[in-house]
Amino acid sequence: MNKYYNTLKKKIQNRELRIAIAGMGYVGLPLAKTIADAEYRDIIGLDIDLDKIKKINNGMSVINTLEVSDLENLLASGFRATSDFSLLDQADALVICVPTPLNQYKEPDLSYIVSTVEMASKFLSKGVFLSLESTTWPGTTEEVIAKILENAGFSIGKDLFLGYSPEREDPGRSDYTTATIPKIISGQTNQCLHIAESFYGSFINEVVRVSNPKTAELVKLLENIQRSVNIGLMNEMKMIADKMNINIFEVIEAAASKPFGFTKYLPGPGVGGHCIPVDPFYLTWKAKEFNFHTKFIELAGEINDGMPNYIIQRITSILNNYKKAISGSKLLILGLSYKKNISDLRESPNLEILQELITLGAEVDYSDPFFENIPPLRKFNFNMKSQSLNKDSIASYDLVILLTDHDTFDYELIKKYSKHIVDTRGIFKLDKTTTYA
């Protein structure tokens, strides 16, 4: 074992590692908290968003999954956010948690990863551990990151240790934390793997070793593709059930009573967040390199992508049943985020539905406890304010459309005073005011 390896192992053991985390979002911030909770006292968070950095350093949480008290404790541990990459010359470890979106052609966009590694390589000293956690296609760590580092003069496995460990955050979930979710780890060489195991094992309860980064990268894609495929199946089943005038939510609940052989997935207005709408395309893109067409995966994606249009068609049909045109109808959308109890609008299909209803001439309002206003977004720019819910406001709408089932909604009040309800989440019991969609 070389001197760099031994030094890193010793620093990990003594909690003396100086750690930098690139990307202060839903992955990076909880990771920083978890590392600080394990008694590390030299952590910085890197980000290019100066407003976000200012808010974090002033004790303002920028994600709803991190309480203000958690952020205050993190800052009290010595953590600071910065845009100064030159501070990496003092780092022993760099963990990259930057976005990996799709471009306009639904092809992988690794620009954030590449720019981060290129910038970091200018300042990193020899003997550092670098781990990528961003979701990506199999081969990224070895074919992209390693080459950048080698071109910068590093020797992987000798004076720089490279690994891939996919993030497994699930915003809004309270029964698991970053520390208690088993962590997939990999390394480009055996020494890289041993360093990764020591590093993550020092603050994660359980680490799961796989043979190489390419395998770990595919693990992450498989986890989310499985969800995409199963949600796509449920969405297709919902459309079939609607044709047959059967309540698909009742069907699913009954099927879920079977103690084996059935896993419960629910349909909805589409899929959102960074993972499910994006990850499958990373594999389908890479598969083309091997002249392979991922038909099953792409079909599920097509079904899920088509759900906002299906919901619009259902809303139009339901209004027609009440002798109302969609143009001029007064509609209320409940929930903007892609899942309950979070302030995350990334890839939310609800925004597509909101935009299309406006385009069709409806008078649309929304209510969401996590968004007083809708922030400017890449695809959308709404100038709207969340509406408070009371008996008079609810009764004023021709149709109330439940898209996200936040726990803070008063469903009894909504049910009592709504003229008509469209429920895409299976929350309301069937009655004369409710239509499932």
Q: What is the pLDDT of residues 248-305, one digit of tens each?
A: 999 999 999 999 999 999 999 999 887 788 888 899 999 999 999 999 999 999 999 9
Q: Are residues 252 and 206 in the same domain?
A: no
pLDDT for 428 equals 81
Residue type, 201: G
pLDDT for 143 equals 97
Q: Are residues 68 and 181 in the same domain?
A: yes
Asked if the structure places residue 221 within a domain, the reply is: no
Number of H helices, E strands in the chain: 16, 13
> CA–CA distance from 33 to each of 22, 29, 77, 182, 200 (Å)?
14, 6, 9, 17, 14
Q: Are residues 284 and 423 in the same domain?
A: yes
- Mean pLDDT score, 236-252: 93
Q: For 80, left (φ over 0), alpha (ψ -120 to 50), or beta?
A: beta
> CA–CA distance from 38 to each of 75, 162, 199, 254, 379 (Å)?
14, 22, 11, 44, 40
d(CA 96, CA 241): 44
Q: Are residues 303 and 257 in the same domain?
A: yes
- Residue 164 makes CB contacts below 8 A (sequence gap 6+) with 131, 132, 133, 140, 141, 186, 213, 216, 217
Domain range spanning residue 121? 3-211
Asked if the structure places residue 330 within a domain, the reply is: yes
Decide if pLDDT at 434 tops 90.
no
Decide if pLDDT at 68 tops 60.
yes
d(CA 411, CA 403): 13
| 50: three-class secondary structure by DSSP | helix
Residue ending a domain, among 211, 239, 257, is 211
Asked if the structure places residue 15 within a domain, the reply is: yes
Q: Tally the C-alpha atoms within 13 A of residue 1's C-alpha that lie toward its C-beta.
A: 14
Query: Could you tell me how far CA 4 lies from the centroid of its own chain?
Result: 35
Q: Are residues 197 and 306 in the same domain?
A: no
Asked if the structure places residue 239 within a domain, the reply is: no
pLDDT for 432 equals 54
In this predicted model, what pLDDT tens digit does every residue of 151-166 receive, in sequence order? 999 999 999 999 999 9
Decide if pLDDT at 430 tops 70.
no
Asked if the structure places residue 298 within a domain, the reply is: yes
pLDDT for 326 equals 96
Decide if pLDDT at 107 tops 90.
no
- Mean pLDDT score, 184-195: 98
- Mean pLDDT score, 117-131: 97
The Cβ of residue 293 has, within 10 Å, a number of other Cβ atoms equal to 10
Q: Tokens standing for 165?
A: 């460990």
The residue among 31, 46, 35, 44 whose CA lies nearest residue 12 is 35
Percent of the chain with pLDDT over 90: 85
pLDDT for 103 equals 84
Residue ending a domain, among 162, 190, 211, is 211
d(CA 171, CA 66): 10
Asked if the structure places residue 228 within a domain, the reply is: no
Q: Are residues 82 and 188 in the same domain?
A: yes
The residue among 274, 384, 286, 392 whose CA lies nearest residue 333 is 384
| 410: three-class secondary structure by DSSP | coil
The Cβ of residue 290 has, within 10 Å, a number of other Cβ atoms equal to 6
d(CA 262, CA 241): 18
Q: Are residues 265 and 204 in the same domain?
A: no
Confidence band of 65 (pLDDT split at 50, 70, 90): confident
DSSP 62: S
Query: For the chain, what is the domain count?
Result: 2
- Mean pLDDT score, 133-141: 97
Tell me which of 19, 71, 132, 275 is the catalytic residue: 275
- Mean pLDDT score, 174-194: 96
> b/e per residue, 306-328, with b = 16+ CB within 10 A?
bbbebbbebbbebbeeeebebee
Rounded mean pLDDT of the chain? 94
Asked if the structure places residue 78 within a domain, the reply is: yes
Residue ending a domain, among 194, 211, 228, is 211
Q: Tokens standing for 360?
A: 């069709």
pLDDT for 32 equals 97
pLDDT for 264 equals 95
d(CA 75, CA 69): 10
Q: What is the dihedral of CA 273, 164, 185, 264, to 10 degrees?
A: 20
Decide if pLDDT at 350 tops 70.
yes
- Mean pLDDT score, 202-214: 98
d(CA 298, CA 414): 37
pLDDT for 337 equals 94
pLDDT for 153 equals 97
Asked if the structure places residue 145 within a domain, the reply is: yes
Q: Are residues 353 and 431 in the same domain?
A: yes
For the question of residue 192 being annotated catalytic, the response is no
Q: Are residues 193 and 282 in the same domain?
A: no
Q: Are residues 412 and 323 in the same domain?
A: yes
Percent of the chain with pLDDT over 70: 98
pLDDT for 353 equals 97
Q: Tokens standing for 141?
A: 């760590």
Confidence band of 433 (pLDDT split at 50, 70, 90): low
Residue type, 188: Q
Q: Are residues 187 and 256 in the same domain?
A: no
d(CA 353, CA 139): 36
Q: Are residues 255 and 179 in the same domain?
A: no
Q: Tokens standing for 121?
A: 């390589």
Look up the CATH number of the domain holding residue 152.
3.40.50.720
- Residue 424 makes CB contacts below 8 A (sequence gap 6+) with 267, 268, 269, 311, 401, 402, 403, 436, 437
pLDDT for 281 equals 87
In this predicted model, what pLDDT tens digit does every residue of 70-82 receive, in sequence order? 999 999 999 999 9
